[in-house]
Chains A and B, each alone.
Chain A
Amino acid sequence: MAKKRKRSSDAAAAAAAAAEKPGEFAPERPERTLFGFMEKPTAAAADLEESEPETASEGGEDDAAAVAVAAAAPFRNKEKVLVTCSRRINYRYRHLMQNVVSLLPHAKKDSKVESKQSKGNALNELLELRSCSSCLFFECRKQKDLYLWMVKSSGGPSVKFLVNAVHTMEELKLTGNHLKGSRPLLTFSTNFDEQPHWKLVKEMLTQIFATPKDHRKAKPFHDHVFVFSIVDDHVWFRNYQISVPHNETDKVDKGGLDKMTLVEVGPRFCLNPIKIFGGSFGGPTLYENPYYISPNQIRALEKRKKAGKYAKKVKAKVRRKMHEMENTLEPDEFAGLWKGED
């Protein structure tokens, strides 16, 4: 953190200094206060431009041409993800959320949010307060259905998923383990690029799940890999530990790539997209999943199937009666033949 702050403010100062007196090279350091660096009024103006999280501009050293600065600005990922859930969440889903938090070193956890009408509003405020650029919101309804909101803050799109097939990291069948905070490799199946809405989902997944490079909590090694795969119009998530034989840190042993094995670490879940909205936690609907059936509906259907049992029986009885009434049996001609015998 400290490093980043210093650099950006330095750049601003440098730019300002260069603009004022081109002869002087050493930029003056802003005064340090309890709340960070005090910025000079001229620097503040320059700083406003780079307030956007994605395009942090770093100073060109002495020639202060703005175009050159913009062109040379290296990309810097300042993603921060707010991870939170609704109140009355299931323990299983809560554990899933905690697992996600442990996988994302750039995540910020927050207290549960009351799931009511204005929760979108509250969450937007919360995002602003915690200065996060994206959000994962686990919403649990009826203690059994989990919805996941994946949101880019301040006007970005938001996607609402239904989460299925949840397995948490605590399960003993998932035997892998990896460093906390190591940066994951992300693998996507190629069918993410086939349709625009999948493209958008892919971009959001990349931004949210990729740990920013040089993040202060990140470790510089790669020992796990995330799998995002579209099967049956659902996004499936898996997390594997990479175990590969190596002696050096920058090279795999000869033939080691073939000997590489993966062990699953977890968690597992499956995302079924429901809708994509234009704004964060709301806005115009851009996409609607035509195949989506809400779990309520599915349950209702099952119930209805079971409920019809008695009515069907009664109906069948009535039908049978009607049938018998319509087609009465003709009296048998041999009916009285053996009457006297017994």
Chain B
Amino acid sequence: MVKFESEDPLVHDEPMLDDVDSDEEQSESESEDDSGEEFHAEPSKKAIYNKEAILEKLEDIGWPENVDWRHKLTVEHDQGEKVDVNDDLARELAFYTQALDGTRQAFEKLQSMKVRFLRPADYYAEMVKTDAHMHKIKGRLLSEKKKIEEAEERKKAREAKKRSKEVQAQKNKEKIRQKKEQIDSVKKWRKQRQQGGFSKGNDDGPDLNFEGEEGFKQSKKKRPGVSPGDRSGGLAKKGNPGKNRKTRDSKYGHGGRKGLKKQNTAETTNDFRGFNQRGESQNKKRKMS
């Protein structure tokens, strides 16, 4: 301890000095350049580089020359051309290849030495990362995988939807085509029949009065005998159902215009059934009193 005390100024001066240095450099450079861009590239000229002393130190601390490789376990790897630092992928790849190449070399060496160096399958011991942590990692990996799968599925569904529109259109076309064909075939058949000497209106064949498109179209005209407010389209009046049903159907059923029901007609204006004559007079009385 005493020894260190005596060295005191040397020991703690240097590291602190370096801080002061850097501060000085800072102020200098600040005054020097305004742009501050090329500032990174240029090396400072007064930097110390004492090569002899460094090599001497290296010799001091170095292990003996002929030390067994198994103490060091070091492998050198030539990176080849320069690696771009800012390209993350290229950089990591360079490190990975260095590790892989180094490991291969080392393993070959170890194999040739005939020593046991691989961990047996039944060797369990403490690991650097705990089981709980590894479980977490596994969970994350799984969830990532799931996410990717889901995304893919969604993509597929989207594509299928696009496709389904096309398919539907195709089907519709096919339907129309078939219809046309059938009609054509029926026409053909009728022509043949006429040519064969059968007169029209004979009860041998069905009277198919659908020449042209009109035969299939439903008339848009109002059906006769149906009031405009009848939402059932006159259906309610036809069948057996009771009176209530009928009125309700005509009132609440489908179609028709609602507004017509709220309009007055000649009948309703003359109808005083719902009109309370007394009500008003009573009110008047009440007002008076």
What residues make up the interface of A, taking CB atoms closer than 8 Å to B? 54-55, 75, 77, 102-103, 117-121, 124-125, 128, 152, 155-157, 160, 169-170, 172, 175, 177-193, 196-197, 199-200, 203-204, 206-207, 210, 212-213, 219-223, 225, 227, 229, 231-232, 234, 236, 238, 240, 242, 244, 246, 248-252, 257, 260, 262, 265, 274-279, 281-291, 293-294, 296-297, 300-301, 304-305
Q: Which of B5, B47, B104 contacts A290 (CB 8 A)?
A: B47
**B25-45 interface bits toward A, Cβ cutoff 8 Å, 1 = contact, 0 = none:** 110011000001001100111
| A250–B107 CA distance with the chains assembled, in angstroms | 10
A177 CB to closest chain B CB (Å) equals 5
Knowing A221-B118, A290-B43, the reply to whether A187 touches B18 (Cβ < 8 A) is no
Knowing A177-B129, A250-B116, A265-B129, the reply to whether A287 touches B61 (Cβ < 8 A) is no
| A82–B172 CA distance with the chains assembled, in angstroms | 82
Q: Is the CB of B127 within 8 A of A180?
A: yes
Q: Which of A155, A187, A196 contacts B75 (CB 8 A)?
A: A187
A-B contacts, 23 of them at CB < 8 A, read A75-B71, A118-B12, A128-B1, A156-B57, A180-B125, A185-B74, A187-B75, A189-B76, A192-B76, A196-B58, A207-B63, A220-B116, A227-B98, A227-B99, A231-B83, A249-B120, A252-B107, A260-B103, A262-B99, A262-B100, A279-B11, A281-B12, A296-B26
Q: Is the CB of A257 within 8 A of B55?
A: no
| A219–B11 CA distance with the chains assembled, in angstroms | 38
Q: Which of B79, B91, B129 contacts A169 (CB 8 A)?
A: B129
**B261-288 interface bits toward A, Cβ cutoff 8 Å, 1 = contact, 0 = none:** 0000000000000000000000000000
Knowing A203-B58, A229-B94, A283-B10, the reply to whether A291 touches B43 (Cβ < 8 A) is yes
Query: Which of chain B's residues has its CB closest to A119's CB?
Result: B12
Query: Which of chain B's residues has its CB closest to A149's CB?
Result: B15
Q: Is the CB of A117 within 8 A of B16?
A: yes
B159 at the interface (CB under 8 A from A): no
Residues of B within 8 A of A212 (CB): 71
Knowing A289-B47, A301-B39, the reply to whether A278 touches B57 (Cβ < 8 A) is yes
Residues of A within 8 A of B134 (CB): 177
User: Which segment of B135-143, B179-187, B248-256 sits at the interface?
Assistant: B135-143
Knowing A203-B58, A252-B118, the reply to whether A190 touches B76 (Cβ < 8 A) is yes
Q: Is the CB of B71 within 8 A of A248?
A: no
Q: Is the CB of A196 within 8 A of B15?
A: no
| A275–B25 CA distance with the chains assembled, in angstroms | 15
B289 at the interface (CB under 8 A from A): no
Knowing A257-B108, A287-B50, the reply to whether A225 touches B99 (Cβ < 8 A) is yes
Apart from A172-B137, A210-B73, list 16 A-B contacts with CB within 8 A: A77-B71, A117-B12, A120-B15, A185-B103, A187-B74, A189-B76, A196-B55, A220-B116, A220-B117, A222-B73, A225-B102, A249-B116, A249-B120, A287-B50, A289-B47, A297-B22
* Interface members, chain B 74-93 (any A CB < 8 Å): 74-79, 83, 85, 91
Query: Which of chain A's residues has its CB closest to B35's CB?
Result: A305
Knowing A187-B99, A262-B96, the reply to whether A197 touches B49 (Cβ < 8 A) is yes
Query: Which of chain B's residues has its CB closest to A256's CB?
Result: B107
Q: Is the CB of A304 within 8 A of B36?
A: yes
B169 at the interface (CB under 8 A from A): no
Q: Is the CB of B85 within 8 A of A231?
A: yes
User: Which 3 A-B pairs give the minimum distances between C-beta atoms?
Assistant: A187-B102, A290-B43, A290-B47
B208 at the interface (CB under 8 A from A): no
Residues of A within 8 A of B110 (CB): 222
Q: Is the CB of A185 within 8 A of B133?
A: no
B96 CB to closest chain A CB (Å) equals 6
Q: Is the CB of A183 within 8 A of B73?
A: yes
B114 at the interface (CB under 8 A from A): yes
Q: Is the CB of A227 within 8 A of B10?
A: no
Q: Which of B36, B83, B133 contacts A305 (CB 8 A)?
A: B36
B214 at the interface (CB under 8 A from A): no
| A123–B143 CA distance with the chains assembled, in angstroms | 47
| A12–B5 CA distance with the chains assembled, in angstroms | 33
Q: Is the CB of A200 within 8 A of B54?
A: yes
Query: Which of chain B's residues has its CB closest to A276's CB?
Result: B54
A53 CB to closest chain B CB (Å) equals 11
A58 CB to closest chain B CB (Å) equals 14
Knowing A190-B78, A281-B11, A293-B40, the reply to whether A160 touches B70 (Cβ < 8 A) is no
A308 CB to closest chain B CB (Å) equals 9
| A70–B176 CA distance with the chains assembled, in angstroms | 105
Q: Is the CB of B72 within 8 A of A287?
A: no
Q: Is the CB of A275 within 8 A of B106?
A: no
B95 at the interface (CB under 8 A from A): yes
Q: Which of B36, B48, B137 contacts A285 (CB 8 A)?
A: B48
Knowing A120-B11, A229-B94, A257-B104, the reply to whether A301 touches B36 (Cβ < 8 A) is yes
Q: Is the CB of A157 within 8 A of B57?
A: yes
B119 at the interface (CB under 8 A from A): yes
